[in-house]
Homo-oligomer: A and B are copies of this chain.
Amino acid sequence: MPQLIEYADASPAVKAVFDDIMQTRQTDYINNFWKALANDPATLKRTWESIKQIMAPGALDPLTKELIYVAVSTTNQCNYCIASHSAAARKAGMTPEMFGELMAVVGMANETNKLVTGYQVEVDERFKG
């Protein structure tokens, strides 16, 4: 598997992305995810710039975006992503009660997604168009 690239060993192109991550997030910590992507500087840069744009406050606030991120990561059963985005969500204000309700909705949505499919339910006319 690819090694993690530490800041000290990074090329200038990778260092520039690491610097932007640390400045944007006001931290001196780089997650393992970015250190792994640093093996492919083009993907590191593209992914960071996409994330930076998408996760910025907009019509949805940062906490809501992190909750959505955890919902997807839980559905995909990605342990790393659940751990890192749960941490980000807590930092953005997620309480234990919110986490509990998030999990309840995610669990139920996964159940009804399959019931709908198994029963082969057709979309109601009023939900179309």
Contact = CB atoms under 8 A, between A and B. Distances in A.
B121 A87 contact: no
Select the residue from A58, A71, A81, A87 with max chain B CB neighbours within 10 A.
Answer: A71
A14 interface: no
A26 interface: no
A7 interface: no
A11 to B, nearest CB: 14
Interface string A114-126: 1111111111101
A78 B32 contact: no
Total copies of the chain: 6
Contacts of A118: 70, 74, 82, 102-103, 106-107
A64 to B, nearest CB: 6
A128 B32 CA distance: 13
B80 A77 contact: no
Given A69-B105, A104-B54, A86 B47 contact: no
